[in-house]
Amino acid sequence: MRRALVAAVLVALAVPGAAFAHASLKHETPSFGEELKVSPRRVVLQFDQTVDALPRGIQVLTPSGKNLAGKPYVVTAQRQLVAPVPKLPKGAYTIRWQALSNDGHIVSGVYTFGVGVPAPPVTAAVGAQGPTGTEDVVRWLYFVALALLVGGLGFRLLILRGPLPERAERRFFWVTGIGVVAILQVGIVAFLLRGEDMLQLPFRLFIYGDLSPLANGTRYGEAFIAMTLGFALTAAALYLAWLLERRWLLWLAFALGLVFASGLSLSGHSAADPPHSWLSEVADYAHLTAAMLWVGGLVSMIVVVWHGAPELRRTAFLRFSRMATVLVAVLLAAGTYLSILRLPHVHDLWTTGYGQVLLVKLSLVALALLWGAAHHFLAAPRLAAGEGGTLFSRLGRSMLGESAVAMAVLLVAAVLVDSKPPPQPAPRAPVAAHDPSNSLLQGARTRIVTRENHPSNSLLQGH
């Protein structure tokens, strides 16, 4: 059975995918993300093959959505699509383009640039709506998948440690296997949803859209590529651990999962929004890691131990209870620091959308912590004293409830990640201490300003 699976994987890797024949954008002027000092006279898009122009093939959009580009035309010898533009005033612009490829498909793309100002991120291109409810659900599924993989591996290596009964081992690989496959598939769906919003195209055109500005020009895209490749390696290590029955491969998969999960912290609010720093990135990663190990450990406790290895219930529960205490401490410390960092004022908790979502999350976390505290301080001592029987059945139902609350916490966290924190207050200019000489200087400055606004000076400025 396992040899057949290996052969199937090798065949799948050996068979090349079909190559796409549609045109691809090779170079653009203005360039993606470029900040120009003066207005461009035209937009030039160069492709790897000749294309045909469409009536609105190039649009240069202002933030209000007005198109300033002229009628596009093709320079066949250079494989270029060109559109003239008038003199653009200072500001940010979005270019949306479409061209008819030789294979009959319409290829499309979008990117941003600025004249005298920095270019906005391509995810903020004119027409993009931002994260939707569907993306919140997809991100929640991604968090759940991370918990199943990383938390499941951590539970197996740190809590169970020794050999497991065959049924429990099989359940462990099912939990972590579902987790790693879901990470890869759900991650791709999340990326495509973000690209669909950016391109604003129906699906029949979206599949030929140019997503390179999103993939190569944003933190989100770079993190997506690194995490997808990293979790593919994690999947390979987990598969080989099952195939070869080598424990060190589980440690490798666990280490890879922990490393590449950091992509979320390196591309989120803690890394991009002020006042971010390396400390905020570390705190976000610690918060994420503690949540993965806690939620994934709860699921593994129920699926792997409670129903797969009843003889290990007491030992596994007592060990996990001790580890959960540490995880909760890290979760609270990192979460408190990040909340203080992202909310400039206390009233932001109930006056901003971000703060209101955070309040819901804090309420659910408090409920989960009370639940876990009851397990730690009431159930664990009874188990340590040797009680069992009906206590095990009640604990199983109780952990299901705690797991449901933990899943709800992840759902609210997914909404929170896609919410915009309130803006930070602008720094105030330092006020000099009172000094008689400063008063003289202020008076001099006042006289200078008054003179600069005098009508006679307008003539001098004109000359």
In 10 A of CB 215, how many CB atoms? 15
Give mean pLDDT in consecutive 10-residue pieces for the chain, a chain of 463 residues: 48 44 86 93 93 91 93 92 94 93 86 93 84 85 94 94 90 95 94 86 77 83 91 95 92 95 80 72 90 92 88 87 87 85 78 83 84 78 71 76 84 79 64 47 40 35 36
Helix (H) or strand (E) holding 222: helix 219-244
- 298 and 251 together in one domain: yes
Indicate the residue among 124, 142, 161 that finishes a domain. 124
- 114 and 227 together in one domain: no
Question: From CA 447, how far away is CA 458, in angstroms rounded?
Answer: 16
Indicate the residue among 84, 106, 124 that finishes a domain. 124
Under 8 Å between Cβ of 277 and 271: no
- 191 and 42 together in one domain: no
Amino acid at 200: Q
In 10 A of CB 126, how many CB atoms? 22
> Cα angle vertex 25, ends 15, 203, to 5°?
70
Sheet holding 106-115, edge to edge: 35-36, 106-115, 91-100, 52-61
- 222 and 81 together in one domain: no
Question: From CA 421, how far away is CA 178, in angstroms rounded?
Answer: 33
- 318 and 170 together in one domain: yes
How many domains does the chain divide into?
2
351 within domain boundaries: yes
- 90 and 155 together in one domain: no
Amino acid at 168: A
User: Would you state the pLDDT for residue 389?
Assistant: 65
Locate 98 and state its tokens. Answer: 């479409």
Under 8 Å between Cβ of 148 and 176: yes
Indicate the residue among 417, 437, 452 that finishes a domain. 417
User: Would you state the pLDDT for residue 278?
Assistant: 77
Question: From CA 318, how far away is CA 321, in angstroms rounded?
Answer: 5
User: Would you state the pLDDT for residue 253?
Assistant: 96
- Domain of residue 76, CATH code: 2.60.40.1220
358 within domain boundaries: yes
- 278 and 412 together in one domain: yes
Indicate the burial class of 248 (C-beta count within 10 angstroms; 0-12, 13-18, 19 or more): exposed
Residue with tokens 């390979």: 236
- 227 and 306 together in one domain: yes
- 111 and 240 together in one domain: no
- 77 and 150 together in one domain: no
Question: From CA 80, how far away is CA 69, in angstroms rounded?
Answer: 16
Locate 97 and state its tokens. Answer: 């383009």
Q: Name residues whose C-beta falls within 8 Å of residue 70's C-beta, 6 or more positions apart in sequence.
A: 83, 84, 85
For the chain, the maximum distance between any two Cα atoms, rounded to a whole number of angstroms, is 97
Rg (CA), the chain: 29
158 within domain boundaries: yes
- 305 and 328 together in one domain: yes
Count of residues making up the chain: 463
Question: From CA 143, how far away is CA 261, in angstroms rounded?
Answer: 10
44 within domain boundaries: yes
Q: Name residues whose C-beta falls within 8 Å of residue 396's C-beta, 6 or more positions apart in sequence.
A: 302, 306
Locate 388 and state its tokens. Answer: 């069992």
376 within domain boundaries: yes
458 within domain boundaries: no
- Domain of residue 367, CATH code: 1.20.1630
Cα atoms found within 13 Å of the Cα of residue 17, Cβ hemisphere only: 3
Domain enclosing residue 233, as ranges: 133-417
463 within domain boundaries: no
273 within domain boundaries: yes
Locate 387 and state its tokens. Answer: 């009680």
- 309 and 401 together in one domain: yes
Which residues make beta-bridge pairs with 98?
Answer: 108
